[in-house]
Amino acid sequence: MDFALKGDILYSKSLNKVSENARSYLVCVDGKCEGVFKKLPSKYKGIKVYDYSGNLIIPGLVDMHLHAPQYMFIGLHMDLELIDWLNTYTFPTEARYKDIRFAKKAYDIFVNDLIHSPTTRFSMFATIHNDATLYLVDKLDKIGFKGYVGKINMDRNSPKYLIEKTEKSIKDTIKYIESVKKYKNIKPIITPRFIPSCSDTLMRKLSDIVKTYDLPVQSHLSENRAEIEWVKELMPSVKCYEEAYDRFDMLGSVTSTIMAHYVWPDEKGIELMKKRNVWVAHCPSSNRNLSSGIAPVGRFLREKIKVGLATDVAGGSYLSMFRAMEDAITTSKIRKCLYDPEYYNVTIEQALYLATISGGEFFGKVGSFEKGYEFDAVVIDEKSIPTVLMKELTVLERFERFVYRAKNKVKAKFIAGKKVI
């Protein structure tokens, strides 16, 4: 059904430029944007108009990296660094998803919260378990969410209660891909957890699957300094961590790839990232919580490396992409102030760019209200933040203020033209 939304419309046009449209109409035809209009053009006369006058309307936000099963311990156990955090808290929690009754309860809570959030697209990690992961896929697809969900692979350096035999890992991955084929909205993505938990044989076989099925890849890269040292020990013949993935054609040489974190780029590795067009999922909350560092996202933007924004639940301690925007801005200022004066800090315009068209490009024509983009939109109700204003604010100022006083809940949400709430 074709329709229009009426309200105060904001979207990113490019890295530093936004389009502000007070009291305007955003038209959807066949699930795609027709554009933003001051007055509804006569050819759309008679279409349904959702009147959100006085509310902000922005593109749906793109979460480039999060772990659905970890939502159950969000906000707990933030006192350790990566490897200890994984071993002490993360792996025992993920192991619970072997029990489908536990998985159903946990994923029901997670998906319900995701529905009310500003997120419309995502690239998500599940666990090694096919049954639980397929339950998650089915739920997300039925709602109309669009994005990628990966069944994790891990066959080494993992606890005995959360490890796969190499052959079984491959078999289960193929089964998973075949089972997800019937879904329209959710697609599979090849998900080796990270180099330390995947043997060379597993990586080679996953790489064959990537080529056979033409699937994208997601993993973790250069998040923590101890992790980087570990990868050097595990693969002494590679010059840098980036090359460890590239050895197996898993760094964008044959398919699109998302690498989460990338807090500590290697100077040779960063050239490889550019050459391979790899997407970095910037996870500012997680990088702070796990004392991983602050990724040089200003440098990535300047050097035209592809970057999207991510929550990395539960390294990141919230599901809200509004809060991820705030953290991208604030952590970049700390980096600039403390040890990188050359570096430019992230602005509100850039934060919106990262969370919409920049990350959105991974999913196709996503993240903008220009004609031809998929119609992903969320409506923000500022009445949830009572205030007395000193002056009238611009549309961008209102958005900025909302980001800093962020609530996760949105008033309405549309994904590819489907009204979800």
Specify which residues 25 forms β-bridges with: 6, 37
Nearest by Cα to 284 from 318, 258, 234, 236: 318
Nearer to Fe ion, 64 or 352 (CB): 64
Q: Report the nearest approach of ligand GUN to the CB of residue 262 (Å).
A: 12
- Select from 6, 67, 121, 205 the one that contacts ligand GUN (CB under 6 A): 67
Q: How far apart are CA 280 and CA 64, in angstroms?
A: 9
Angle between helices 395-404 and 321-339 (to 10 degrees): 90
Q: Report the nearest approach of ligand GUN to the CB of residue 289 (Å).
A: 9
Nearer to ligand GUN, 85 or 373 (CB): 85
Buried b (16+ CB within 10 A) or exposed e, 38-66: eebeeebeeeeebebeebbbbbbbbbbbb
Nearer to ligand GUN, 196 or 367 (CB): 196
The contact pattern for ligand GUN, residues 264-293, with x = CB under 6 A and - = no contact, is ----------------------x-------
Task: With beta carbons less than 8 A apart as the criterion, state whether 250 and 203 touch.
Answer: yes
Q: How far apart are CA 369 and CA 23, in angstroms?
A: 15
Q: How far apart are CA 363 and CA 65, in angstroms?
A: 13
Nearer to Fe ion, 9 or 152 (CB): 152
- Select from 151, 187, 205, 220 the one that contacts ligand GUN (CB under 6 A): 220
Q: Report the nearest approach of Fe ion to the CB of residue 327 (Å).
A: 15
Q: Report the nearest approach of Fe ion to the CB of residue 85 (Å).
A: 11
Instruction: Give, for 105, the enclosing helix (H) or strand (E).
Output: helix 100-116
Q: How far apart are CA 52 and CA 66, in angstroms?
A: 30
- Binding-site partner at residue 34 among ligand GUN, Fe ion, none, CB < 5 to 8 Å by type: none
The contact pattern for Fe ion, residues 287-326, with x = CB under 5 A and - = no contact, is -------------------------x--------------
Task: With beta carbons less than 8 A apart as the criterion, state whether 375 and 417 touch.
Answer: yes
The contact pattern for Fe ion, residues 225-264, with x = CB under 5 A and - = no contact, is -----------------------------------x----
Task: With beta carbons less than 8 A apart as the criterion, state whether 18 and 368 touch.
Answer: no
Q: What are phi and psi of 206, to 5 degrees?
A: -65, -40
Nearer to ligand GUN, 193 or 276 (CB): 193
Nearer to ligand GUN, 321 or 415 (CB): 321
Nearer to ligand GUN, 141 or 312 (CB): 312
Can residue 110 be called a binding residue for ligand GUN (CB under 6 A)? no
Nearer to Fe ion, 125 or 363 (CB): 125
Q: How far apart are CA 42 and CA 402, in angstroms?
A: 34
- Select from 89, 110, 194, 399 the one that contacts ligand GUN (CB under 6 A): 194
**Structure tokens given for 395:** 């549309």
The contact pattern for ligand GUN, residues 303-322, with x = CB under 6 A and - = no contact, is ---------x--x-------
Angle at alpha carbon of residue 118, lines to 117 and 123, rounded to 5°: 90
Q: How far apart are CA 9 and CA 23, in angstroms?
A: 8
Task: With beta carbons less than 8 A apart as the criterion, state whether 147 and 363 touch.
Answer: yes
Task: With beta carbons less than 8 A apart as the criterion, state whether 301 and 384 touch.
Answer: no
**Which residues inside 330-369 make contact with Fe ion, applying CB under 5 A?**
none
Q: Which region among 53-61, 82-90, 247-255, 334-342 touches ligand GUN (by CB under 6 A)?
A: 82-90
| Residues at the interface with Fe ion (CB under 5 A) | 260, 312
| Residues at the interface with ligand GUN (CB under 6 A) | 67, 82, 86, 90, 193-194, 220, 223, 286, 312, 315
